[in-house]
Structure 1
Amino acid sequence: MKVFIQSVNFNADADLLKFVEKKVEGLTKFHDKIVDAEVFLKVQNTSDKENKISELKINIPGHELVVKKEAKSFEEGVSLGVDSLKRQLRKTKEKSRDTLTL
């Protein structure tokens, strides 16, 4: 699976990029037909502590799953997003399995 990472309004360091790639690669355990993943890391210019936005988009045949999380750090946001995508991927896989058995 290809993982595309874009950082908006800042330069992401190598450790953050490795962390994001490793987390997103782990989603292949939950769905075997993932085409690619796009991750957008954005910093909002607000006084809030939770100003880091992590947006994850997973492309699978026939579907595009998108999750957007705001957190204090990108690591936390990506972890929350990946957990959410795991649930979505399980649901999507179960639905496709159900339609095949009908």
Structure 2
Amino acid sequence: MKLQVHSIHFDADIKLLEFIQSKLNKLDTFYDRITGGEVFLKVDKGDTKKVRSKMLEVKINLPGGTLFVKEQGKTFEEAMDIAIEALKIQLKRFKERIQDKANPTRNVLMSMAMES
């Protein structure tokens, strides 16, 4: 997947970039037509300067749609793990919608099977 990572007001470590890339590459197992994506990394200072939460925004481009997730965590890795789980759910729903549009009789057959 072609991925652009934007770290806002800081320089991201190469290990973090590789971690993000590897996690997002795993989404291809759920839907293989992902065209690209963007990741925005931000550090939120919060009320005190000691507590800094990490904000992560992921935008995934698909043919016919876009998925977006915004997560927050103590580390970027934690936020990425949460975002991946949310993206998996969104990808499954997107794929089901695409299949339902391609095969409208499937809905009728499913509802008939549920009734009996």
- Following superposition, the deviation at residue 49 of structure 1 comes to 3.8
Match status 1:78 vs 2:80? yes
What is the distance in 2 between the residues matched to 1:17 and 1:37? 13
| Cα deviation 1:13-45 (Å, max 9, x = unaligned) | 111111000001111111111010111110012
* TM-score calculated relative to the size of structure 2: 0.83
What is the distance in 1 between the residues matched to 2:11 and 2:67? 26
- Which of structures 1 and 2 has the larger relative contact order (alpha carbons within 8 angstroms, sep 6+)? 1
Match status 1:31 vs 2:56? no
- Following superposition, the deviation at residue 57 of structure 1 comes to 0.4
Partner residue in 1 for 2:45: 45
Partner residue in 2 for 1:21: 21
Structure 1 gap ranges (5+) = none
What is the distance in 2 between the residues matched to 1:10 and 1:43? 8
Partner residue in 1 for 2:5: 5
User: Between the two proteins, what is the percent identity of the paired residues?
Assistant: 40
Bigger radius of gyration:
2
What is the distance in 1 between the residues matched to 2:72 and 2:31? 25
**Cα RMSD between the aligned structures?**
1.2
> Which consecutive aligned stretches of 4+ in structure 1 deviate over 2 angstroms post-superposition?
47-50
